Structure 1
Amino acid sequence: MAEQTLKEKTAKGLFWGGLNGGIQQLLNLFFGIFLARLLSPGDYGMIGMLGIFMGLATVLQDSGFGTALINRKEIKHEDYNSVFWFSLSIGCICYVVLFFCAPLIASFYKKPELVNLSRVLFLWFLISSTSIAHSALLTKKLMVRERTKIEVSALFVSGTVGIILAYNGFSYWGIALQTVIHAFIGSVLRWYYVKWRPTYSFELGPLKEMFSFGVKIMFTSIFSQINANIFSVLLGRFYKEDQVGYYTQGNKWMTMGYTFIWGMIGNVSLPVLSEVSCDVKRQQKVFRKMLRFVSFISFPAMLGLAFVAKELIVISVSDKWLPCVPVMQLMCIWGAVMPISNLYTHVLLSHGKSNLFLYNTIILGIVQLVVVVSLLSLGIYYMVLAFVVVNILWMFVWHYFVNKCVEISIVDAAKDILPFGLISLIVLCITYFVTMSISNIYLLLVTKVLFAAFLYSFFMYLTNSVIFKETFDFFIKKK
């Protein structure tokens, strides 16, 4: 009965996670197209330069305690309460520090406009610090339906405001205020859906108990943010803001696709893997099924996105963004593998191996930084290419440590992952030759998408894919 309950919870979480991701990315696509047509690459570049500061402040306000709450077997009011007051305090401190550091940031990039822009944009993490504990509770309780309502509502309201501001000539201020409003709406709705409320008593005990695990997650996240924003920093410092904008736009399209896939499974994988972490064989079975599911979705979606990148960019945001296409295509290759990499890390976290998560991320970050900086003079394309290659190769390192937890060999992992990747590549090659004579760009995009989707489904049916059959049966039952 317990197994069935876990399966139902996981299936429900995947369904609502997929629905959430799908709606979010449709809204992101809708608002992103309007904003990209209204704004210039330089406007996106101005926001992109501040990404690393936003990311680091967000990590510090959470300090790994959000993940620690999710991973905790037994949890009490005092645990949530301590994390709430800690996150709020750190959020306030970070905002004050960055508020007064704004002139230094502007000086580093040689952009005086960044002083006021950063002070407004940084309100985002100050506001979001009020709902860190509430967000952890939503994930812990697998309240994926409520998360869907929260995130979609916040995105719709903030996106509408962003378009109105951009249309009226507010340039990059439209993106900044859109970001702040998104945080405000999201925090308000988390308080609405989560009935838990903080009390004025503050205890250090729960934080001490979670400190060892949480601090490693915090440092890991810091390095992850540095890795994720290294291009924006280097391009912003040594190139023009247009180059930052092209990178930001290309990476944004990849992120939309990746977020849909990881949003489907990311809010479910850690709680479920933690629940079965005491039974190695059972966790191995759950992990391998998740591995097959995410590969089944990720490879055709992300490689397909790279395949139609040129047509998609020209049709949606105009040819002024064409320089972002090569970046988008390379990042999509990494985006196809990234959900699998994240799934590996969730296995380590479910076993409390936050130290391995930390050390691997630090070493990976150092390797990435050295490689990317060494290619700085060659331009953004070779920098991104090196970044993608290093991250894909690092999958073998993640696998080595996960194998020690759930006893899955590289051959078994390859059997779960590679078939979907190979079939996706075959499908895209066939589609390329079938559609290469089509000159109309609109017809070309539609034909590529429909033909590739049909062919991939046909191959899944032909190879009698269990994941394909179970996914199809699940949605038939939903209807």
Structure 2
Amino acid sequence: MTSPSRTAPSLAAKAGRGAAVTFAGQLTRIVVQLLGIVLLARLLSPSDYGLTAMVLAIIGVGEILRDFGLSSAAIQARTLTRGQRSNLFWINLGIGAGLTAIVAGLAVPLASFYGDDRLVLITLALSVTFLLNGFSTQFRADLNRNFRFGWLASAEIGAQIIALTIALSLAAFGWGYWALVAQQVLQVLLQAVVLPFVAGWWPSLPRRGEQMKAFLTFGGGLVGAQLLNYASRNVASVVIGRQFGAQELGYFNRAYQLMVLPLNQINAPSSRVALPTLSRLQDQPRRYADFISFGQTILLNLVCFVLAFTVAVAPDLVFVALGPQWGPTVPLFQVLAIAGLFQAAAYSSYWIYLSQGLTTRYLVYIAITRPFVIAIICLGAVWGVEGVTVAYAVTAALLWPIGTLFLVGRATAPLLKLFLTALRTISIYAVAATASWASTLLFPDLFPIARMAVGLTGFLLALALIAAVFPPFRRDVLSMASARRFFRSARKPAVAQEETP
């Protein structure tokens, strides 16, 4: 039996405040990003988005190498000395500088690969983001580790707003794809300037004798998995850009961004709170299980609510958000949104891998499955852009249960409960989406916004009916409504009754 924990109240309080602040920040971020999507889509062409997407698909690989999993390693570590933190800073900065030079050197070959000389200057401009992000990585990780989510959100949102404002101005004056390039560079530049002041520390010179092996081992396993995972998720963009050109990639890119907007804006803050909290609960299995089950309930219901509803009203949503010229994105978005549901379902497994230090196991899982994912998506290109999109969704559905199976016997977590809860939640929102879609068919002559309102009404009525007749879903809704009570109860010394593993 463990003794009463004096740190438990502090941890629960920090997690509760962190969740509230982080989600409030994400709501602001969602509003800013939605404004950017709506306004820029009316000022730029599909080919503008396609050109930048060609480079960003490659840039993302370097971003994973630049981080090298060391931000997650710093967050997950039980203890972190000042010397270790400084050494991690210099490692990330060095990797970022090296990648800036490498990517700049690949500008001409990349342009030749896609057959478009405009990509040379775009690649050179975007290569500097590696250096800037390498500089910022450990300041961001420090704020995350210490639950200073409000400061972190303020810095990120402020940079996002300024970068978007400048991008809109450039787009309005006819700068085309350079508006998107400027937005990317300015966002990371502004964060690099602000984050050291917000974090309140400055790295010392690299120190010998610091214990760094655990961080590098953790990061090495994670970065290998992240590279393969990123490749499997972005191979679709590379294939479409290479085989079908910038315009088709532009349609796919907007559909993909509409899907990942709610996915990332809900998953990212959830992980930002969940990982440091779960890492500190590794030795308390009951509290760990309660927290991850509760976190999954909130995340999945939020993601499913947004994505399922947007699938039902996708034609009207795309018309309102992007404009009539973006009609080809509708079927692509609907398929990708379904894929997003399965990706969200798999996120609790990802939390378990990282919070319990199972990065080697995670790498094995990724190494076995991702080559098949890449092959399936490439095969889908035989049926055009639509084939690539469907292949992406099929692989997302398959990866979810496989990722859970790889944890059996290795992780201390309620795996079966998490899987069944996710399956139940997706099924419920699929039924509600069907009801929403059917309700819009009754009013074909309404304006798009009015028809979306009808669809939302049908969606909410269906969910209310399901909650009334299906107790498990009703309990999920009530548990989300009582989120503050969850964190308040977690501060009670009931943890003293828990057995150590």
TM bucket (normalised to shorter chain) is: over 0.9
Partner residue of 1:469 out of 467, 470, 478: 478
Q: Which residue of 2 aligns with 1:345?
A: 350
Cα–Cα, structure 1 residues 396 and 419, in superposed 2: closer, same or farther, change >3 Å? closer
Does 1:189 find its partner at 2:198? no
SS of residue in 2 equivalent to 1:402: coil
Matches within 5 A, 1:72-471: 72-203=77-208, 205-404=210-409, 405-410=411-416, 412-438=417-443, 439-440=445-446, 441-453=448-460, 455-457=462-464, 459-460=466-467, 463=470, 465-471=474-480
> Shift of the alpha carbon at 1:403?
3.5
Higher RCO (Cα < 8 Å, 6 or more apart): 2
Over 3 Å counting, the alpha-carbon distance change for 1:56 and 1:433 in structure 2 is closer
1:98-127 Cα deviation digits (max 9, x unpaired): 112211111111111111111012222221
Deviation at 1:455, TM superposition (A): 4.2
What CA distance in whole angstroms lies between the structure 2 residues aligned with 1:206 and 1:164?
A: 48
Identity %: 19
Contact 1:82 1:206 in 2 (8 A): no
1:461, distance to aligned residue in structure 2 (A): 6.1
Distance in 2, Cα, partners of 1:345 & 1:371: 23
Conservation of the 8 A alpha-carbon contact between 1:216 and 1:354: yes
TM (norm. structure 2) is 0.90
Q: More deviation in 460-469 or 436-445?
A: 460-469
**Partners in 2 of 1:407 and 1:164 — Cα distance?**
50
Distance 2:257 2:364 in 1: 28
Trace 1:1-80 onto structure 2 (pairs within 5 A).
2-80=7-85
* Number of equivalences: 477
Contact 2:267-2:344 within 8 A present in 1 as well: yes
Q: Is the 8 A contact 2:309 2:436 kept in 1?
A: no
Measure the CA separation in 1 of the matches of 2:458 and 2:15: 31
Q: Write out per-residue CA displacement over residues 411-435 of structure 1, whole angstroms, 9 at most, x where no aligned residue.
A: x234422332222122222223333
Structure-1 separation of matches of 2:162 and 2:406: 43
Q: 2-side partners of 1:39 and 1:203: how far apart?
A: 51
Change in CA separation of 1:260 and 1:181 when aligned onto 2, cut-off 3 Å: same
Once the two structures are TM-superposed, the CA of residue 406 in structure 1 deviates from its matched residue by 2.1
Q: Give TM-score, length-normalised by structure 1.
A: 0.94
* 209 and 3 in structure 1: CA distance in 2 versus 1, 3 angstrom threshold: closer
Tell me by how many angstroms 1:379 deviates: 0.9
CA offset at residue 319 of structure 1? Answer: 1.6
| Contact 2:297-2:480 within 8 A present in 1 as well | no
**In 2 relative to 1, CA 414–89 (structure 1 residues): closer, same or farther, beyond 3 Å?**
closer
Residue 474 of structure 1 deviates from its aligned partner by 4.7
Describe the superposition over 1:292-335 as per-residue Cα deviations: whole angstroms up to 9, x where unpaired.
22222222221112222211111121121111111111111121
Q: Is the 8 A contact 1:99 1:119 kept in 2?
A: yes
CA–CA separation in structure 2 for the residues paired with 1:364 and 1:380 = 23
1:381-401 CA distances to partner (integer Å, 9 max, x unpaired)?
A: 122212211221221122123
Offset from partner CA, 1:275-307 (integer Å, 9 cap, x none):
111233332222222222222222222111222
What residue is the counterpart of 2:491 in the other structure?
A: none
Distance 1:476 1:280, change over 3 A: closer
Residue 229 to residue 433, structure 1, CA distance change in 2 (3 Å):
closer
Looking at structure 1, the residues matched to 189 and 211 of structure 2 have their Cα atoms a distance apart, in angstroms, of 28
**Secondary structure of 1:198's aligned partner:** coil
Question: In the aligned structure 1, how far is the partner of 2:390 from the partner of 2:468?
Answer: 34
CA positional deviation for 1:342: 2.3
User: What are structure 1's unaligned runs of at least 5 residues?
Assistant: none
Tell me how far apart the structure 2 counterparts of residues 84 and 113 of structure 1 sit (CA, whole Å). 34
Q: Does the C-alpha gap of structure 1 residues 450 and 261 become closer, same or farther in structure 2, counting only changes over 3 Å?
A: farther
Q: CA deviation at 1:227?
A: 1.7
The one-letter code of the counterpart of 2:24 is L
Question: Distance between the aligned counterparts of 2:98 and 2:412, measured in 1?
Answer: 41
Are the equivalent residues in 1 in contact too, given 2:75–2:144 (CA < 8 A)?
A: yes
1:60 is displaced (CA, Å) by 1.6
Q: Is the contact made by 1:281 and 1:406 (CA closer than 8 Å) also made in structure 2? A: no
Q: Following the alignment from structure 1 to structure 2, what is the Cα–Cα distance between the partners of residues 326 and 307?
A: 11
Deviation at 1:180, TM superposition (A): 0.4
Is the CA contact (8 Å cut-off) linking 1:13 and 1:264 kept in structure 2? no
> How far 1:36 moved relative to its partner?
0.8
**Preserved CA contact (<8 Å) 2:236 2:392:** no
